[in-house]
Amino acid sequence: MTASAETPNSAVPPLTALLQAAFPQSVRDRHAQGGEETVIVRRQGMLDLFRFLRDDPRCAFDLMIDLTAVDHLPRTPRFEVVVHLKSLAHNHRLRVKIPIEEGQEEVDSISALWVAADWYERECFDMYGIRFAGHPDLRRLLLYPEFAGHPLRKDYDHRLQQPRVPLRAVRERHDYEMRVQYPEGVEKPRNPA
Protein backbone atom coordinates (compact mmCIF):
# COMPACT_ATOMS: atom_id res chain seq x y z
CA MET A 1 0.00 0.00 0.00
CA THR A 2 1.52 3.35 -0.97
CA ALA A 3 1.06 6.61 0.88
CA SER A 4 -1.36 7.85 -1.77
CA ALA A 5 -3.49 4.68 -1.49
CA GLU A 6 -3.87 4.81 2.29
CA THR A 7 -7.07 5.94 3.90
CA PRO A 8 -7.10 9.23 5.85
CA ASN A 9 -7.42 7.27 9.11
CA SER A 10 -4.41 5.03 8.52
CA ALA A 11 -1.56 5.97 10.80
CA VAL A 12 1.86 6.82 9.47
CA PRO A 13 4.46 4.64 11.21
CA PRO A 14 6.49 6.71 13.70
CA LEU A 15 9.85 6.28 11.98
CA THR A 16 8.42 7.25 8.59
CA ALA A 17 6.70 10.26 10.16
CA LEU A 18 10.01 11.32 11.72
CA LEU A 19 11.78 11.09 8.35
CA GLN A 20 9.01 12.96 6.54
CA ALA A 21 9.23 15.77 9.11
CA ALA A 22 13.05 15.94 9.08
CA PHE A 23 13.46 15.52 5.30
CA PRO A 24 10.26 16.69 3.58
CA GLN A 25 12.05 17.29 0.26
CA SER A 26 13.85 13.93 0.28
CA VAL A 27 11.10 11.43 1.16
CA ARG A 28 9.13 10.82 -2.05
CA ASP A 29 6.85 8.02 -0.94
CA ARG A 30 6.41 5.36 1.72
CA HIS A 31 4.67 2.09 2.43
CA ALA A 32 4.65 -0.67 5.02
CA GLN A 33 4.14 -4.36 4.53
CA GLY A 34 4.39 -7.12 7.07
CA GLY A 35 5.44 -4.65 9.74
CA GLU A 36 8.43 -3.40 7.74
CA GLU A 37 8.59 0.26 6.85
CA THR A 38 9.86 1.36 3.46
CA VAL A 39 10.70 4.90 2.40
CA ILE A 40 11.46 5.95 -1.15
CA VAL A 41 13.93 8.86 -1.19
CA ARG A 42 15.51 11.17 -3.74
CA ARG A 43 19.19 10.83 -4.64
CA GLN A 44 19.79 14.47 -3.76
CA GLY A 45 20.38 14.76 -0.03
CA MET A 46 20.39 11.01 0.58
CA LEU A 47 23.68 11.14 2.50
CA ASP A 48 22.20 13.57 5.03
CA LEU A 49 19.19 11.28 5.44
CA PHE A 50 21.38 8.19 5.95
CA ARG A 51 23.62 10.05 8.41
CA PHE A 52 20.47 11.07 10.33
CA LEU A 53 19.29 7.43 10.37
CA ARG A 54 22.62 6.31 11.80
CA ASP A 55 23.32 9.14 14.27
CA ASP A 56 19.96 10.34 15.58
CA PRO A 57 19.18 8.46 18.84
CA ARG A 58 15.51 8.11 17.80
CA CYS A 59 16.68 6.03 14.83
CA ALA A 60 20.08 4.55 15.81
CA PHE A 61 20.47 2.36 12.74
CA ASP A 62 23.82 0.88 13.60
CA LEU A 63 23.68 -1.99 11.08
CA MET A 64 23.49 -1.81 7.31
CA ILE A 65 22.23 -5.31 6.61
CA ASP A 66 22.06 -5.30 2.82
CA LEU A 67 22.46 -3.09 -0.21
CA THR A 68 21.42 -4.20 -3.67
CA ALA A 69 19.71 -2.96 -6.80
CA VAL A 70 16.68 -3.87 -8.88
CA ASP A 71 16.27 -3.44 -12.63
CA HIS A 72 12.62 -2.69 -13.46
CA LEU A 73 13.05 -2.55 -17.26
CA PRO A 74 10.88 -1.29 -19.06
CA ARG A 75 9.48 0.77 -16.16
CA THR A 76 10.79 4.24 -15.37
CA PRO A 77 12.67 4.94 -13.28
CA ARG A 78 14.45 1.82 -14.39
CA PHE A 79 16.65 1.11 -11.36
CA GLU A 80 16.32 1.17 -7.59
CA VAL A 81 19.11 0.92 -5.06
CA VAL A 82 17.66 -0.82 -1.99
CA VAL A 83 19.26 -0.52 1.46
CA HIS A 84 18.14 -2.53 4.49
CA LEU A 85 18.97 -1.08 7.91
CA LYS A 86 18.61 -2.47 11.44
CA SER A 87 18.66 -0.73 14.81
CA LEU A 88 19.81 -2.98 17.62
CA ALA A 89 18.88 -0.40 20.27
CA HIS A 90 15.25 -0.08 19.10
CA ASN A 91 14.91 -3.48 17.43
CA HIS A 92 13.45 -2.07 14.25
CA ARG A 93 14.22 -2.31 10.56
CA LEU A 94 13.89 0.08 7.67
CA ARG A 95 14.09 -0.40 3.93
CA VAL A 96 15.25 2.65 1.94
CA LYS A 97 14.78 2.71 -1.83
CA ILE A 98 16.49 5.21 -4.13
CA PRO A 99 14.99 5.31 -7.65
CA ILE A 100 17.50 5.94 -10.47
CA GLU A 101 16.74 6.92 -14.04
CA GLU A 102 18.42 5.07 -16.89
CA GLY A 103 21.48 6.98 -18.06
CA GLN A 104 21.99 8.49 -14.58
CA GLU A 105 23.16 5.36 -12.77
CA GLU A 106 25.01 7.02 -9.90
CA VAL A 107 24.25 7.59 -6.23
CA ASP A 108 26.37 8.66 -3.27
CA SER A 109 28.33 5.97 -1.47
CA ILE A 110 27.29 5.21 2.11
CA SER A 111 30.47 3.21 2.80
CA ALA A 112 31.82 6.05 4.98
CA LEU A 113 28.74 5.65 7.23
CA TRP A 114 28.61 1.83 7.32
CA VAL A 115 31.83 0.03 6.43
CA ALA A 116 29.79 -3.03 5.44
CA ALA A 117 28.46 -1.09 2.43
CA ASP A 118 31.89 -1.18 0.75
CA TRP A 119 31.66 -4.62 -0.87
CA TYR A 120 27.89 -4.42 -1.37
CA GLU A 121 28.38 -1.27 -3.44
CA ARG A 122 31.16 -2.92 -5.43
CA GLU A 123 28.90 -5.91 -6.13
CA CYS A 124 26.07 -3.58 -7.17
CA PHE A 125 28.46 -1.75 -9.52
CA ASP A 126 29.73 -5.04 -10.93
CA MET A 127 26.32 -6.61 -11.56
CA TYR A 128 24.17 -3.55 -12.43
CA GLY A 129 26.65 -0.83 -13.46
CA ILE A 130 25.46 1.59 -10.78
CA ARG A 131 28.29 3.89 -9.71
CA PHE A 132 28.72 5.03 -6.09
CA ALA A 133 30.20 8.53 -5.90
CA GLY A 134 32.82 8.82 -3.17
CA HIS A 135 33.45 5.07 -2.88
CA PRO A 136 37.11 4.49 -1.88
CA ASP A 137 37.75 1.60 -4.32
CA LEU A 138 34.92 1.15 -6.84
CA ARG A 139 35.94 -1.73 -9.08
CA ARG A 140 34.53 -5.09 -10.04
CA LEU A 141 34.18 -7.56 -7.19
CA LEU A 142 32.90 -10.82 -8.70
CA LEU A 143 33.96 -10.52 -12.34
CA TYR A 144 37.31 -9.79 -13.91
CA PRO A 145 38.10 -6.20 -15.01
CA GLU A 146 37.83 -6.93 -18.76
CA PHE A 147 34.30 -8.38 -18.46
CA ALA A 148 31.95 -6.51 -20.80
CA GLY A 149 28.61 -5.35 -19.42
CA HIS A 150 26.67 -5.92 -16.22
CA PRO A 151 24.99 -9.34 -16.11
CA LEU A 152 22.03 -8.59 -13.79
CA ARG A 153 20.64 -5.89 -16.07
CA LYS A 154 17.55 -7.17 -17.82
CA ASP A 155 18.86 -6.08 -21.22
CA TYR A 156 22.19 -7.90 -20.81
CA ASP A 157 22.81 -10.20 -23.79
CA HIS A 158 23.57 -13.57 -22.22
CA ARG A 159 24.98 -14.79 -25.56
CA LEU A 160 27.70 -12.12 -25.42
CA GLN A 161 31.19 -13.54 -25.98
CA GLN A 162 33.41 -12.28 -23.17
CA PRO A 163 37.05 -11.39 -23.83
CA ARG A 164 39.55 -14.08 -23.01
CA VAL A 165 42.31 -12.95 -20.76
CA PRO A 166 45.58 -14.70 -19.97
CA LEU A 167 45.77 -16.53 -16.66
CA ARG A 168 47.10 -14.32 -13.92
CA ALA A 169 49.58 -15.40 -11.30
CA VAL A 170 47.88 -16.10 -8.00
CA ARG A 171 49.71 -15.21 -4.84
CA GLU A 172 49.02 -18.09 -2.49
CA ARG A 173 48.69 -17.43 1.20
CA HIS A 174 48.90 -21.07 2.23
CA ASP A 175 50.68 -24.10 0.87
CA TYR A 176 48.97 -27.46 0.59
CA GLU A 177 50.05 -28.44 4.08
CA MET A 178 48.24 -25.36 5.41
CA ARG A 179 51.40 -23.67 6.65
CA VAL A 180 51.31 -19.92 6.38
CA GLN A 181 53.68 -18.43 3.82
CA TYR A 182 55.15 -15.14 4.92
CA PRO A 183 56.09 -12.41 2.43
CA GLU A 184 59.74 -11.62 1.97
CA GLY A 185 61.09 -9.51 4.83
CA VAL A 186 58.36 -10.59 7.28
CA GLU A 187 59.61 -12.74 10.14
CA LYS A 188 57.70 -15.83 11.16
CA PRO A 189 56.42 -15.46 14.76
CA ARG A 190 58.11 -17.68 17.31
CA ASN A 191 56.15 -20.46 18.90
CA PRO A 192 55.97 -19.73 22.66
CA ALA A 193 55.79 -23.46 23.52
Is 160 inside a domain boundary? Answer: no
Is 190 inside a domain boundary? Answer: no
Question: The sheet that has 92-100: what strands, in order across it?
Answer: 27-33, 36-41, 92-100, 79-87, 63-71
**CATH value at residue 45:** 3.30.460.80
Q: For the full predicted model, state whether its pTM sits above 0.85.
A: no
Is 7 inside a domain boundary? Answer: yes
Is 181 inside a domain boundary? Answer: no
* Alpha carbon of residue 7 to chain centroid: 32
Domain limits for position 45: 3-133
pLDDT tens column, 82-138: 999 999 999 999 999 999 999 999 999 999 999 999 999 999 999 999 999 999 999
pLDDT value at residue 139? 92
Number of domains in the chain: 1
Residue, of 99 and 179, whose pLDDT is higher: 99
Alpha-carbon gap, residue 105 to 101, rounded angstroms: 7
pLDDT tens column, 16-30: 999 999 999 999 999
Residue, of 146 and 174, whose pLDDT is higher: 146
CB 119 within 8 A of CB 139: no
